[in-house]
């Protein structure tokens, strides 16, 4: 039986992971489940999957969690330290699906145990790529990508040498506003930005798709994970979201990964890796689909892509700044304080400010990532305030 822990079990990726595990209960033993505020979901899943330990990120929720699991014999804990400690519980496979930079410390701790980390938490690679990869190397741990594009690239590279790869093409749906006139983006509302044309995801990541900040994170993630020259990475708008990524080789061949937009595909690939196993995902009928379309992304419509290139060139802690500032920009947009198009200006401003303070090239450590994340949020707040007043 494979021992499995799921960090961020109550979220969209966590629930899809549990869906797959629930279909093969005899093959898996759940060790740890973690969540945040959604205690009803966490406790319900704990009673179904019977882990050894359940952790909520929030200490003030511990009493509710204990009450919900009373008499079950399942251990309960709370807080960020408890999350990190939970990553030391022996497990063969750990899903990193906490949202945001909070996922970094538990993921690093898991890698220090030499385990296999299925990495959905893209912020880990964006903010601390070198630290994550060094830790994995040092402890003989394996990182498996779970973001659908990175899983697609990973699958395209099976049996191949990186030296034969000329380019990596990541597709993007183009988000909610891909067909809007650029001049209308300024007035786009939060409700309009929160509807994704193809994927069913949470509100924040859906808005990040509309602004392409999600793709910006993925481009940086690609550079970090596959260790490739940023110039090799291309973004291609593909409104149907059926091809997730393509790998281009030195003989001109392009290997594409084609599949239904369902995260259980990438999660299932990581869960069964290095084998493949049956997955309950839609089988595509290409004849019925008929055609797939592609177009080049426009940097004026999607300034986030330009910012991602800037971050890849700068390196160091600039990814932590982009991510932190982007999170705050998103908070301000959701709260109605800034416009959709202001989000990129907040991020660009934060990158500029912190670069001028020479903070981007401090060593990539957990403490420095936290510090730069904090400074980036502060800078973004200040720029937002200047815009409002
Ligand atoms: P969700 O917001 O749906 O879930 C996030 C999870 O993290 C929940 O379990 C949540 O708990 C928990 N959580 C929230 N805040 C904290 C915190 N401060 N400390 C610890 N745990 C916390 O996110 P998704 O599942 O959509 O995404 C998870 C990660 O995977 C993200 O990094 C995302 O970018 C990435 N990803 C997501 C994809 C998707 O299709 N959704 C696709 C590819 C990558 P609770 O809900 O109980 O508060």
pLDDT of amino acid 327: 97
Contact 279, 268 (CB under 8 A): yes
Would you state the structure tokens that stand for residue 259, as one six-digit string? 């599949």
* Dist. CA 99 → ligand 1 center (Å): 3
Name the residue of 34, 36, 143, 334 whose CB sits within 8 Å of the most ligand 1 atoms, as the mutation to test its pocket. Answer: 36
Instruction: Calculate ∠ Cα 52-57-60, nearest 5°.
Output: 105
Q: What is the 3-state secondary structure (H, E, C) of 31-91?
A: EEEEECCCHHHHHHHHHHHCCCEEEECCHHHHHHHHHHCCCCCCEEEECHHHHHHHCCCCC
Residues in the chain: 389
Ligand 1 mutation pick, 15, 97, 149, 261, max ligand atoms within 8 A of CB: 97
Q: Is 33 in the pocket of ligand 1 (CB under 6 A)?
A: no
CA–centroid distance, 182 to ligand 1, in Å, is 31
Q: Whose CA is nearest to atom 26 of ligand 1?
A: 12
Kindly give, in sequence order, each residue whose CB lies less than 8 Å from that of residue 128, ignoring residues fewer than 6 positions away: 104, 108, 319, 320, 364, 366, 369
Provide DSSP, 222-263.
HHHHH---GGGEEEEE-TT--EEEEEEETTS-EEEEE--S-H
What is the atom index within ligand 1 of the atom nearest the CA of 100?
32
Which pLDDT belongs to residue 359? 87
DSSP code string of 165-231: EEEEEEEE---TTTTS-GGGGGG--HHHHT--SS----HHHHHHHHHTHHHHHHHHHHHHHH---GG
State the distance from the centre of ligand 1 to the C-alpha of 374, rounded, in angstroms. 20
pLDDT, position 198: 78
pTM: 0.96
- Full pLDDT tens readout for the chain, 389 residues: 999 999 999 999 999 999 999 999 999 999 999 999 999 999 999 999 999 999 999 999 999 999 999 999 999 999 999 999 999 999 999 999 999 999 999 999 999 999 999 999 999 999 999 999 999 999 999 999 999 999 999 999 999 999 999 999 999 999 889 999 999 999 999 999 998 877 777 789 899 999 999 999 999 999 999 999 999 999 999 999 999 999 999 999 999 999 999 999 999 999 999 999 999 999 999 999 999 999 999 989 999 999 999 999 999 999 999 999 999 999 999 999 999 999 999 999 999 999 988 889 999 999 999 999 999 999 999 999 999 87
CA distances from 75 to 6, 31, 56, 72 (A): 15, 11, 12, 9
| Cα-to-centroid distance, 190 and ligand 1 (Å) | 20
- Give yes or no for residue 14 CB within 6 A of ligand 1: yes
Provide DSSP, 345-372. Answer: HHHHHHHHHHHHTT-TTS---HHHHHHH
Q: Ligand 1 pocket, 121 CB below 6 A?
A: yes
Report DSSP letters for 125-178, one per residue: HHHHHHHHHHHHHHHT-EEEE-SHHHHHHHHHTTT--GGGEEEEEEEE---TTT
Please give the Cα distance from 165 to 254 (Å, whole number).
10
On the question of a cis peptide bond just before residue 274, with omega within 30 degrees of 0, the verdict is: yes
Ligand 1 pocket residue status of 124, Cβ below 6 Å: no
CA of 86 to the centre of ligand 1 (A): 17
Query: Beta 28-35 vs 2-7: how paired, if at all?
Result: parallel
Cα 217 to middle of ligand 1, angstroms? 15
In angstroms, what is the span from residue 13 Cα to ligand 1's centroid?
7
Q: Is 8 in the pocket of ligand 1 (CB under 6 A)?
A: yes
Task: Report the C-alpha gap between 143 and 116 in whole angstroms.
Answer: 6
Rounded-to-integer distance, Cα 130 and Cα 153, Å: 19
* Residue from 77, 78, 98, 128 to probe ligand 1 pocket by mutation (most atoms less than 8 Å from CB): 98
8 Å CB contact between 2 and 24: no
What token pair was written down for 251?
A: 């003989």
* Strand 243-249, strand 165-172: pairing: antiparallel
């Amino acid at each position: 039986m494979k021992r499995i822990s799921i960090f961020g079990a109550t979220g969209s990726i966590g629930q899809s992971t549990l869906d797959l595990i629930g279909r093969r209960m005899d093959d898996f033993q759940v060790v740890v489940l973690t969540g945040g505020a959604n205690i009803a979901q966490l406790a319900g899943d704990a009673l179904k999957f019977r882990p050894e330990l359940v952790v909520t990120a929030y200490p003030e929720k511990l009493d509710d969690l204990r009450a919900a699991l009373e008499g079950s014999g399942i251990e309960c804990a709370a807080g960020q330290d408890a999350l990190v400690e939970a990553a030391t519980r022996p497990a063969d496979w750990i899903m990193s699906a906490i949202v945001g930079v909070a996922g970094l410390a538990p993921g690093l701790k898991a890698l220090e145990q030499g385990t296999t980390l299925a990495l959905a938490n893209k912020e880990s690679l964006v903010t601390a790529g070198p630290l994550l990869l060094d830790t994995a190397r040092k402890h003989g741990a394996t990182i498996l990508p779970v973001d659908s594009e990175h899983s697609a690239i990973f699958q395209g590279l099976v049996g191949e040498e990186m030296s034969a790869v000329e380019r990596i093409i990541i597709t993007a749906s183009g988000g909610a506003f891909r067909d809007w006139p650029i001049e209308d983006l300024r007035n786009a509302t939060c409700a309009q930005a929160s509807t994704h044309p193809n994927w069913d995801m949470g509100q924040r990541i859906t808005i990040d798709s509309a602004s392409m900040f999600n793709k910006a994170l993925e481009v940086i993630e690609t550079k970090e994970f596959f260790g490739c020259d940023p110039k090799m990475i291309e973004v291609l708008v593909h409104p149907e979201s059926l091809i997730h990524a393509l790998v281009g080789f030195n003989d001109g061949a392009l290997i594409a990964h084609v599949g239904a937009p369902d995260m259980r595909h990438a999660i299932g690939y990581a869960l069964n890796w290095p084998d493949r196993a049956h997955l309950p995902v839609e089988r595509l009928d290409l004849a019925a689909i008929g055609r797939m379309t592609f177009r080049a992304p426009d940097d004026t419509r999607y300034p986030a892509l330009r910012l991602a290139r800037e971050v890849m060139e700068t390196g160091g802690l600039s990814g932590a700044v982009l991510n932190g500032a982007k999170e705050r920009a998103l908070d301000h947009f959701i709260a109605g304080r800034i416009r959709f198009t202001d989000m990129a200006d907040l991020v660009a401003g934060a990158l500029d400010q912190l670069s001028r303070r020479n903070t981007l090239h401090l060593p990539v450590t957990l403490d420095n990532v936290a510090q730069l994340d904090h400074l980036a949020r502060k800078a973004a707040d200040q720029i937002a305030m200047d815009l409002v007043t």
